[in-house]
Structure 1
Amino acid sequence: MTAAPEPGAIHIALALAGERVDAVRVRSTRPAGLAQAFVGRAGSEAPGLARRLFALCGRAQGAAAAEAVAAAAGGERPEAARAADAIGVLAERAAESLRACLLGWPWGDDSSLPRSAVAPLREAIAAAGLLRAVTEANLHDVAPLRAAAERLAAAAAALGAAAAPGRPAPPGTAFAAIAGQCAAPLAFAPPDALRPGDDAAVVAALGRDPDFAAAPSLPGRRPETGAFARLWRDVPHGDGACAARLEARRLDIRETLAALRHTIAGEADPESVLTGGPAGAGAGFGAVECARGRLHHVARVDGDGRIAAYAALAPTEWNFHPRGPYVAALEGARLGDPARALLAAARLAALVDPCVAFRVTLEEP
């Protein structure tokens, strides 16, 4: 089952023993080595280059780059620039969460995205784009920001993503339709959440090992990052893993929209969205909480202010590690016959949400 066409994908192969998942093998064909494009460039070029290279969550990538190169140069970014980035990242996070959840959902043969969801999803994406454009233009009038944030929130509500915690998505909405398909027989298990307190270990590993970004690991752990890792304690556990993950995604969108309003009003610290700091002599890091989880960039600059080394670690590398949380959630699970197993594994993958296409297949006995 395929969520989108290649190139660059997460390949997932299931080995079944009857109705039980005997093994899960994950292989990534995501492009490697993109961080080398930063080397030799002026530090000031890094944010724009990051937005172009990693376009899916471009504002988050640009913000992480800006934090990293500023810290590497021994300086601090202006608070206005950090606040603008936080607004752009939050808008992008809400819209990308909506887009990925609705367009990436494996609906099955007898269902599809409700037609009523198309217009509000387009509105959400347009409103988020306007918020990013206004903040990138360095405009100081908050009125257009507030108006665009209200448009984004209204679109999310129309899709069923704004219901209060503990209340189901309104009937007839896209999120209600997805919730009706989240009965996969996967048991709930608490995640090993990647936290800001892990930044030091992650940044040190990125600076030490150029291959760490492609297959990150922390000793004795299976870290997960993203909406479920952020909010798993706040969602019901009794309906299984898929239902809990969908509710965490919905609650994360709701909280992201609230944070967006507070940040526009100057009532929230950008540090809860993006942060950075030194990472050794001439080096710095940036970390951003984006739609799919915690994103890290690490930069080292030379005496001329040019980038001598660079690394970027996307949330997908944690979540779809060959021994990571997605694999752990499926190993040993009873998913039914092969067709049901494929669909359940694809729906779980959509909820864990890689930043590239994914493909789920069965291994031949």
Structure 2
Amino acid sequence: MSPAVGNKIHVRVLLAANVVASVEILPRVRPPLARMFTGKEPSAVLNVMPRLFALCAAAQQTALVSAIETARDEVTALATQQHRIALIVIERIVDLARGLFVGHLTLNVASAAAIRSLMSELSAFGRSAQTARGYPQREVTGRIVAALATLGVWEGGGFRPSSPLALCAAALNEDGLMSNPTAHPFLSAADDPDITKRLLRDDPTFCYCPDLEGHVPETGPWARQMTRDPLSPKPFGAVERLTARIVEIIRLCAWLAAGARVDTAEHGIIGTYKLGPGRAAAAVECARGRLYHAVELDAQGRISRFEFLAPTEWNFHRRGPLVRNLKGAALTAQRRRDAVHAVIASLDPCVGFTLDFREFHDA
């Protein structure tokens, strides 16, 4: 979800006798969108949005246009709402599936042909959805679900024994890096009022280092699953996030195949909030989690202030989900890089990352 500029997240794990003593995160350099957009006509900004964002372009565009419309007190037609939600859902399916195959099945030679075919289908799906509302969603989503079945996914989202995805999940479990989810908060649409009120306050650091009353919740597929259908507390980690990703792909494909109706859409997939005269915010549930845009318009209708808050700022916060997942975990010397890398990848940062280890006595 980042503009196509070079930036990375740097993660350093400090070890004491192969136990994670602490985790240091140097966050990415956020793109200077507030400075770029200030003084611009909204139409000019909206026209460049697809070129600015290499990932989640539909979600970014929808968040901004929804915030602008709300600031102008405009009413969005039902057909437009349906089209926007469908675009976001299609983009989520594409991004979740790409991350699944690229991140977990890249080296699986036996599944290479199936993965290449599906990736080609996903690419065409995403491109066509941007230009034509009549794309055959039922046909394409059926092929996506069938491809997942070939790779080992049962209809309900579990893994067929000895299938490529089952073996992948088993390998993640073997890494042995799990944490207790007790008091682990998850971001949801219910948090929007608190967050949107803070986006345009004078202190801009909230968008760089957000929190909710001191807590830093997780956002993304696992958070959506836990919010929708809370599970009993148990250890969790990369394999649970992998499963949540697959379950969500299947669920979203079913929604598209059933007609993509607004009244059956996911709760809070797009939220809009009026913050005062000429001021508004919007939230969009995209692949990596909940995205926020906020705008203030001047008397001439130009953008006088813009702020955005991406899922990565929550998941890779210095006190966020990654740190909670890693701190206190015991790692074997042979597999420690793979184990930590898997946890980072399961949170799916919107930019690249580096990872290094230091022994505590060297820190």
TM-score normalised over the length of structure 1? 0.86
Q: What CA distance in whole angstroms lies between the structure 2 residues aligned with 1:35 and 1:152?
A: 38
Name the structure 2 match of 1:246. 242
Residues 75 and 11 of structure 1: CA distance in aligned 2, closer, same or farther (over 3 Å) = same
Q: Aligned to 1:104, what secondary structure does the other structure show? A: helix
Structure 2 residue aligned with 1:187: 179
**Counterpart check, 1:67 vs 2:66:** yes
Q: Deviations over 1:156-209 (max 9, x none)?
A: 3333455314x3245333x22320211223134153011111111111221113
Work out the number of aligned pairs and report it.
350
Partner amino acid for 1:201?
A: D
Distance 1:156 1:85, change over 3 A: farther
Q: Does residue 178 of the first structure (1) align with residue 173 of the second (2)?
A: no
Compute the displacement of 1:36 (Å): 2.7
- Runs (4+) of structure 1 exceeding 6 A deviation are none
Contact 1:274–1:288 (CA<8 Å) still a contact in 2? yes
Distance 1:40 1:127 in 2: 40
Q: Tell whether the 8 Å contact from 2:82 to 2:261 is kept in structure 1 after alignment.
A: no
Match of 2:200 among 192, 202, 207: 207
Quick one: distance in 2 between partners of 1:94 and 1:160? 18
Deviation of 1:262 after TM superposition, in Å, equals: 3.4
1:279 alignment counterpart:
275
Q: What CA deviation, in whole Å up to 9, does each residue of 1:265-308 have, x standing for no partner?
A: 56624764222121222111111111111111111112222211
Give the Cα separation in 2 of the matches to 1:171 and 1:307: 55
Closer/same/farther in 2, CA of residues 147 and 22 from structure 1, 3 Å limit: same
Counterpart of 1:343 in structure 2 is 338
Give how far 1:97 is off.
1.0
Where in structure 2 are the equivalents of 1:252-331 lying within 5 Å?
A: 252-264=248-260, 268-269=264-265, 272-331=268-327
Greater shift, 265-274 or 61-70, is seen at 265-274
Conserved 8 A contact 2:14-2:358: yes
Task: Identify which range, 238-247 or 50-59, moves more after superposition.
Answer: 238-247
**Equivalent position of 2:138 in the other structure:** 146
Q: Which consecutive unaligned segments of at least 5 residues does structure 2 have?
A: none
Counterpart amino acid of residue 179 in structure 1: A
Distance change >3 Å, CA 239–CA 118, structure 1 → 2: farther
After the TM superposition, which of the residue ranges 147-156 and 186-195 deviates more from structure 2? 147-156
Residues of 1 paired with 2:144 and 2:207: CA distance? 33
2: distance between equivalents of 1:123 and 1:267? 33
| Structure 2 counterpart of 1:40 | 39
Deviation at 1:317, TM superposition (A): 0.6
Q: Does structure 2 retain, via aligned residues, the 8 Å contact 1:161–1:253?
A: no
Change in Cα spacing, 1:58 to 1:123, as seen in structure 2 (3 Å) is farther
CA contact (8 A) 2:290 2:310 kept: yes
SS at match of 1:56: coil
CA distance 1:155–1:299, change in 2 (3 Å): farther
Q: Give how far 1:355 is off.
A: 0.9
Match of 2:352 in 1: 357
Displacement of 1:147: 2.7
Question: Aligned partner of 1:303: which letter?
Answer: A
Contact 1:124-1:152 at 8 Å conserved across structures = yes
Superposed CA offset, 1:125-170 (max 9, x none): 444444444443354x46x2333333333333333455314x3245
